[in-house]
Amino acid sequence: MNHFHYLNGELHAESVAISRIAARVGTPFYCYSTATLARHYTVFRDALAAAGLDATVCFACKANPNIAVIRTLAELGAGADVVSEGELRQALAAGVPPARIVFSGVGKTRHELEFAVAKGILQINVESEPELRLLSEVAAARGIRMPVSIRVNPDVDAGTHAKITTGKKENKFGIEWTRAREVYGLAAGLPGIEVVGVACHIGSQLTELEPFRDAFVRVRDLVAMLRADGIQIRRLDLGGGLGVPYEHESPPSPAAYAEVIRATLGDLNCRIIVEPGRLLVGNAGILVSKVIYVKEGATRTFLIVDAAMNDLMRPALYDAHHAIFPVAEPAAGSARIEVDVVGPVCETGDTFAKQRSLPPMRAGDLLVFGTAGAYGAAMSSTYNTRPLIPEVLVKDDDFAVVRARPSYEDMLALESLPDWFGHEG
């Protein structure tokens, strides 16, 4: 469910007309709904509580690291799962308490580890032996033992897109399942490490529960072995990955997901940490664009819009589907035509949809890409020297620009010419 709906013939975000925002900030832009963010978080949190789980929900900031989005979720009680120093700084700036922040990621640098240790975050999820040794050195230098969960790769196929599968043995993430016990033994003897848990994340956009169940059973087996070794595991970080409907998918409900956790891990007396990202923000955001031209080609019609692959990368990167619909509500039974929806970037890959059935549209009309709140703005770039686009947060009948569009002057000011070119004037 989301809070984008037609009212009086025009698409609204909650009680704000999309055309009103477009007139103020220009197109393209991202628009997020506070009500949808709040609903998705509370439904997920309450499902875990109803299953009797002692659970902390840490929003996976990589899905949408805007500090206003993070703050919205933090005020509801969410923590943050971060994968870089930048995301950690964003979470702190958004007001997430360090005691609710988990630092994941396969390539943390010394500086990042030093920063995280200094901030006193909840835990670091370690993904390799070299990282484990480096973290111990960093923490011991400060005279502390850093709480750590070791990310274990359970060799479970998530059944999702190959580029967002993370739990198979050929993936770069985590410690291979067969070596986990050995690495935990190493960790237990390092001076700067306090082993507190097991971490596991098998991928993103999962639409079936069985891969979760398979991974959690392996986690359960590992906990039993580690406790037999005298290592007292008290936290289980289960990652995220529950999918959202982009087209015809029917992902499991949060309640069904929570029941799998309860059935497999609920009697281990562990604190559960879960890290949803897409589930919380995907349907809470849209990308609004404007038609520049309607171009009649030899074999098809092209709808050329002012958003591009640098603004929403998912279709070019993953062949991902996003619903596309006009801001002006079409009349019931109105005609539709098949069009290719494309952007202005000089790449054939700058294509959002091929032969998509849409109402006839003209230059200047506004259209929307749905379910764009996750991995939209987060993955955007300035390719073709196109400015990053604004992000807008709506609440009830009000809205605010929560990331402004930089000017070309702002962009050029980040660059400089070396002295050997000389100076004009």
Catalytic positions, written as ranges: 346
Amino acid, single-letter form, for residue 46: D
The span from the CA of 9 to the CA of 22, in Å, is 16
Q: List, in order, residues 6 or more apart from 41 with CB less than 8 Å away.
A: 57, 59, 73, 76, 78, 280
Distances in whole angstroms, Cα of residue 147 to Cα of each of 62, 120, 167, 189, 196: 22, 9, 23, 14, 6
Within 13 Å, how many C-alpha atoms sit on residue 258's CB side? 18
The span from the CA of 7 to the CA of 151, in Å, is 47
